[in-house]
Amino acid sequence: MARLLPARYPSSMPSLGLAVSGGGDSMALTWIAHRWARDRGVTLRLATVDHGLRPEAAKEAAEVAAFASRLGLSHDTLHWQGWDGRGNLQDAARRARRRLLSAWAAEQELGAVLIAHTADDQAETFLLRLARGSGVDGLSAMREARQEGGLLWLRPLLGVRREVLRDLLRTQGLGWAEDPSNADPRYDRVRMRQALPALGALGLTVERLSDTAARLAEARDALAVQAALAARLLLRVEAGDVLVDLAGLAAEPVEIRARLLSAALCWVSSAEYRPRRAALDRLLADLARGAGGTLHGCLVAERHGVARIGREPRAVLGLRRAAPGVWDHRWRVFGPDCDELEIGALGSAGLLQRPRWRESGLPRRTLLAQPALWQGQRLIAVPVLEPGGAWRAELVGGEDAFHSSLIPH
């Protein structure tokens, strides 16, 4: 804890959150964090996510609440009811945990949230991603501190083995819950966990795998800096689209090309994860021969040596929300108070109501995905076509947000 958390905790973050499942790792972190927070006058708040997937989960959450009460700590149980039985259960559960904890942290005005990932988790993740053919970024170590969604996530136990934490609990006479899914070989992570002893006998120990992941993280960060420098020279933002100098892009190493294109696609679409490398390589090849395509919710077109990466109009078709507000996760639209207006894509129906749209100089495909103000089927305002009007639309964070996205935080 002392390596990550300062001896004098910032007064701007007087409260700290802790995600506690009831398992050995998070229960040990609770004990450690409680002592750290108590000595520094920091308020510690606990939360348990009940995914509703096992009948025992409610009982385990209640046991965590009782443990928190014995320590004099507050505790909340967060419920997930979003599983529809399709897709990757563990991935869906992980995403749900992050969303629920983020909302809880914002409501509690927490400065950061601690999560109990260990050295074993680091090694298992490395093997999982190696099996999937991941590159430098995928194989890199999890960060001890990561800013995401406006919240600081801290992993103070990444250098600690899982069994060390259980020894701590045994010494303190504390119990923990065992999730049976952690021993279910149907899950890839469990198979990697079960393979670790055999790999360790070959020299591929948890410590060695974690060290390798850490070195790859250093390479990842160096590549990210190079990509950010190249982006300042080769990429610019116009009306929410990213414009790419293709000749300059072609002169960059393949890895930098992929990073730049991936960053542009993720920023335009507000996607959490990068597209697969094979899809990126195909798009780069298409652009090199003067073609375009669609990928990751974006429309990519080439003209006069410049690639324009914009929002795919179909991806925002029918997407409406009350005005003013944030639309498509990246446009902040504001203007006069009016309860009857909605923000939606301009679309072809909107262009028909603005016949002089060509005077903007923007491509039709760009305009189709622009935010507009609607009253039912009647178009009220199009900020990009009426810059001096009562309604305005700004990219959240502006162009700097795009360039910042190239550097992992």
Binding residues: 21-26
Core vs surface per residue 87-120: b (16+ CB within 10 A) or e: eeeeebbeebbbebbbebbeebebbbbbbbbbbb
331 backbone dihedrals φ, ψ, rounded to 5°: -100, 125
**Which single residue is written with the structure tokens 């850490």?**
214
Report d(CA 23, CA 376) in Å as an integer.
51
For 288, half-sphere exposure in the C-beta direction (CA atoms, 13 angstrom radius) is 13
Q: Could you give the residue ranges of the DSSP H alpha helices within 12-88?
A: 24-40, 56-71
274 backbone dihedrals φ, ψ, rounded to 5°: -70, 155
Of 61, 35, 214, the C-alpha closest to 141 is 214
Collapsing DSSP to helix, strand or coil, 70 comes out as: helix
Report d(CA 294, CA 305) in Å as an integer.
18
The C-alpha angle 46, 49, 54, rounded to 5 degrees, equals: 135
Report d(CA 351, CA 281) in Å as an integer.
34
Report d(CA 381, CA 393) in Å as an integer.
11
In the annotated binding site for ATP, the residues are: 21-26
Structural tokens at position 37: 């927070």
